[in-house]
Structure 1
């Protein structure tokens, strides 16, 4: 089984503006994703807002300062038989139904 990183990107302003009901529905969607993934789900976390990030370049700076309109909001690490299986699991994430988010699926290089 290969490991994949699922990176959840979206508009932080829209995440911040979610109502309690919208947040509860999204949380339920993540619980459903975790249940569907079962033991294939190795780990996952929601991230603090991008304003709390520190980006290391030749000189450290506060904030992400990346050339992107979307911020990284969270991630999962999963195991899947192949990319198609990883994409099928990623398609269950509730952010894909929000209209302002995307999920990047990247294989993890395993050494050894």
Structure 2
């Protein structure tokens, strides 16, 4: 079954001008290589910042994210796993989750068609 890993940036995440950012970004690249080699990773995408977002609600379009929050969707990956427990175990290995830099939401994907 496919699961989407929603990668939520937090205020604790290293910024690109911090000393720890380069090493962390390298860890993220290694994570994609590791899980890509297993055949379980079906891709990943980083999203542009919320300042480029548009929200459509009841036909009206507004700038920015749909709600005020400290965690912002920063990207997503799709993985193959036998169960949500396996998907959660994989998500827990994403760099920064254990340090509180990233929050990860795991959701089953419903195949359409």
How high is the TM-score relative to the length of structure 2? 0.83
Aligned match of 2:22 = 24
Aligned match of 2:92 = 91
Moved over 4 A (4+): 12-15
For the residues of structure 1 that align with 2:17 and 2:72, how far apart are their CA atoms? 16
TM-superposed deviation, 1:14: 4.7
TM-superposed deviation, 1:17: 5.8
Structure-2 change in CA distance of 1:11 and 1:17 (3 Å): farther
Question: Higher helix fraction: Structure 1 or Structure 2?
Answer: 1
TM-superposed deviation, 1:100: 3.9
Worse-matched range after superposition: 98-107 or 7-16: 7-16
Aligned match of 1:74 = 75
In the alignment, does 2:53 pair up with 1:53?
A: yes
For the residues of structure 2 that align with 1:11 and 1:83, how far apart are their CA atoms? 23
- Could you say what the CA RMSD is over the residues aligned between the two structures, in angstroms? 2.0
Matched position secondary structure for 1:69: coil
Structure 1 residue ranges without an equivalent (≥5)? none
How high is the TM-score relative to the length of structure 1? 0.84
TM-superposed deviation, 1:60: 0.3
Aligned match of 1:10 = 9
Q: For residues 7-45 of structure 1, what are the alpha-carbon distances to aligned partners after superposition, in whole Å with 9 as ceiling and x for unaligned?
A: 1112368544651x4222222222222233131111101
Query: Does the aligned pair in 2 maintain the 1:33–1:89 contact within 8 Å?
Result: no
Matched position secondary structure for 1:32: helix
